[in-house]
Chain A
Amino acid sequence: MGVTTERQDNTLIAKSEGRIDGANAREFQDALDAAIDSSERAVVLDLEEVSYISSAGLRVILLTAKSLQKQDAKFAVCSLSESIREIFEISGFDQIIAVHDSRDEAVDALKN
């Protein structure tokens, strides 16, 4: 469960792929922690290539959101598949984590 990163304006884009579930959530967390430096001010997690997220995966995203909040950085997720969007809606996570349709929209939103 790798995480690749790139930069768009001053925002760090972290991207992963495949299934994120109980079996690899730990790996995902470690990869994400390693990718995000404590000096980051804005981070977008791009889920376009992610096919499925279990609650263990949601927990990693929640932890990331919380730790970024502590370092006063902004955070959003983008490009969710229909089924992942549904998981965000049912769990209520869409009310505590910013969800955007596309990467550009997310980057724009974090600028302000």
Chain B
Amino acid sequence: MEPPYKILVVDDEPDLEPLMLQRMRRHIRAGRYTFVFAQNGIEALERLNEQDDIDMVLSDINMPRMDGLTLLEQIPKVDPNIRAVIVSAYGDMKNIRTAMNRGAFDFVTKPLDFADLKITIDRTLSHMTEWREALSSRDKLVALQNELNVASQIQQSILPTEFAQGDNYRIYGSMDPARNVGGDFFDVVHMEGGFVGLAIADVSDKGVPAALFMMSTRTLLKGSAIGIGDPGKVLGEVNELLEEDNDAGMFVTVFYAVYNPSNGELAFANGGHNSPLIVHADGSSTFLPLTKGIALGVMPGLSYQEQSIKLAPGDTVFLYTDGVTEAMNTEGEEFGEERLQQVFATVSPQDPQAANEAVFAAVREFAGETPQSDDITCLALSRSES
């Protein structure tokens, strides 16, 4: 799959076509995208049937003749490999949820933020590219190995790679995937009012079903995050949605926090995940208290306790997965929480990227020749000193 990528935009608002062409003109001129337009679901299906080189669909929900949700059900009948992104009203969880259940890959909210839309389009296209490559190589590989490749490609495609920095905070996250196993992911959600959502998670099990479970967790989390806000309620809602139709007993541990840059407040809730570390400017650190939350997807009707702390200027909240603390050395010892704290005694945590790299380096040095058995994932937010 190579550029230009052809994107079908479906919206009954006639002004969107000139606006899209105008805002995306640089990328169109650079030969990256071409656009096709349709005003409703029926027209969209006509375009899809006429043109077999359409790579993705960006669709509004409310439209005459055939709405976006119905269109979503029809797209796979034309081409099961086309991915759709839905445009919804801000916080419209009901429709977002239905769209996700019907196979939408992601969503953006109105009014359209074109910078954000570009990131979402690129992420969808990169996912599609990897998906198609995986499909085309599937026949050549042993089934299990291939399945793991597909899973890891899905996983890679949902991780953020660019981090928007705030006036008084910095964010960085990264993952060092295990060769075969793994179910970690993280996400950063920017919300109205400048609030920043931080999520880190670890899905049980491996393979394609686990990767798809991960994908829906990420999307439901993002949807609930912008629709609800409060971390405890967000985890409660995502738990309900994941628990439905989860016969495979899959679950995911999630730590979710909302940071308020205007006063440094960090509200958080924990669904069975390792407690993050708060690192102070002088290198001392403390773990956030455990809040007794149960991993998501296990059982319905759970509530998640919400707590909040204040990050002082110079403080960093460091989120990680058990791939860090449970990494083993050749003697069978675990890296553990104390060694994690020791890393920050020597490295300034205030550059989140440097902090991540220092932890990765320390774990690697500790593990030595021992093969990495789990993903290692870190996500850090630092509040600036001044």
| A residues whose Cβ falls under 8 Å from a Cβ of B | 21-23, 25, 51-52, 54-56, 58-60, 62-63, 66, 83, 87, 89-93, 95-96
Report the minimal beta-carbon distance from B271 to chain A, rounded to whole angstroms: 7
CA distance A58 to B251 in the complex (A): 9
Known: A90-B272, A96-B294. A55 touches B373 (CB 8 A): no
A62 B373 Cβ-Cβ under 8 A: no
Most chain A CB inside 10 Å of its own CB: which residue of B205, B248, B294: B205
A66 B249 Cβ-Cβ under 8 A: yes
B residues less than 8 Å from A90 (CB atoms): 253, 272-275, 290
| B residues whose Cβ falls under 8 Å from a Cβ of A | 180-183, 202-206, 248-251, 253, 271-275, 290, 292-295, 298-299, 322, 326, 332, 334, 373-374
B residues less than 8 Å from A96 (CB atoms): 294, 298-299
Report the minimal beta-carbon distance from B37 to chain A, rounded to whole angstroms: 45
Report the minimal beta-carbon distance from B294 to chain A, rounded to whole angstroms: 3
CA distance A9 to B292 in the complex (A): 34
B residues less than 8 Å from A25 (CB atoms): 205
8 Å CB contact of A55 from B248, B253, B290, B334: B253
Can you name 10 extra interface pairs (CB under 8 A) apart from A21-B181, A87-B322?
A21-B374, A54-B373, A58-B251, A59-B250, A83-B334, A89-B290, A90-B274, A91-B294, A92-B298, A96-B294
B373 A22 Cβ-Cβ under 8 A: yes
Enumerate the 4 nearest inter-chain pairs by beta-carbon distance, A residue then B residue, closest first.
Answer: A92-B294, A22-B181, A55-B204, A63-B249
A56 B294 Cβ-Cβ under 8 A: no
A residues less than 8 Å from B248 (CB atoms): 63
13 A-B pairs in the complex with CB atoms less than 8 angstroms apart: A21-B373, A22-B181, A22-B374, A51-B332, A54-B181, A56-B206, A59-B250, A63-B249, A90-B273, A92-B271, A92-B298, A93-B294, A93-B295
CA distance A83 to B328 in the complex (A): 13
A residues less than 8 Å from B249 (CB atoms): 59-60, 62-63, 66
How many pairs, one residue from A and one from B, have CB atoms within 8 Å of each other in the complex?
75
8 Å CB contact of B293 from A52, A63, A92: A92
B295 A92 Cβ-Cβ under 8 A: yes
B residues less than 8 Å from A56 (CB atoms): 181, 204-206
CA distance A96 to B293 in the complex (A): 11
CA distance A9 to B249 in the complex (A): 30
CA distance A36 to B265 in the complex (A): 50
8 Å CB contact of A91 from B182, B203, B250, B272: B272
For B302, the closest partner residue in chain A by CB is A92
Known: A62-B298, A92-B293, A92-B295. A23 touches B251 (CB 8 A): no
Most chain A CB inside 10 Å of its own CB: which residue of B274, B292, B294, B298: B298
CA distance A50 to B293 in the complex (A): 25
CA distance A57 to B123 in the complex (A): 32
CA distance A87 to B251 in the complex (A): 14
CA distance A96 to B295 in the complex (A): 11
B residues less than 8 Å from A21 (CB atoms): 181, 373-374
Known: A58-B204, A59-B249. A92 touches B334 (CB 8 A): no
B residues less than 8 Å from A62 (CB atoms): 249, 251, 298
For A63, the closest partner residue in chain B by CB is B249
A residues less than 8 Å from B253 (CB atoms): 55, 90-91
CA distance A87 to B202 in the complex (A): 13
A residues less than 8 Å from B299 (CB atoms): 96
CA distance A83 to B290 in the complex (A): 16
CA distance A59 to B202 in the complex (A): 12
For A64, the closest partner residue in chain B by CB is B249
A residues less than 8 Å from B181 (CB atoms): 21-23, 54, 56
Report the minimal beta-carbon distance from B112 to chain A, rounded to whole angstroms: 38
Report the minimal beta-carbon distance from B298 to chain A, rounded to whole angstroms: 6
B residues less than 8 Å from A91 (CB atoms): 253, 272, 294-295
Report the minimal beta-carbon distance from A32 to chain B, rounded to whole angstroms: 13
Known: A23-B181, A92-B295, A95-B292. A59 touches B273 (CB 8 A): no
Report the minimal beta-carbon distance from A90 to chain B, rounded to whole angstroms: 6
CA distance A35 to B372 in the complex (A): 31
For A95, the closest partner residue in chain B by CB is B294
CA distance A23 to B249 in the complex (A): 18
CA distance A84 to B202 in the complex (A): 17
For B293, the closest partner residue in chain A by CB is A92
CA distance A90 to B273 in the complex (A): 6
CA distance A92 to B322 in the complex (A): 15
Report the minimal beta-carbon distance from A95 to chain B, rounded to whole angstroms: 6
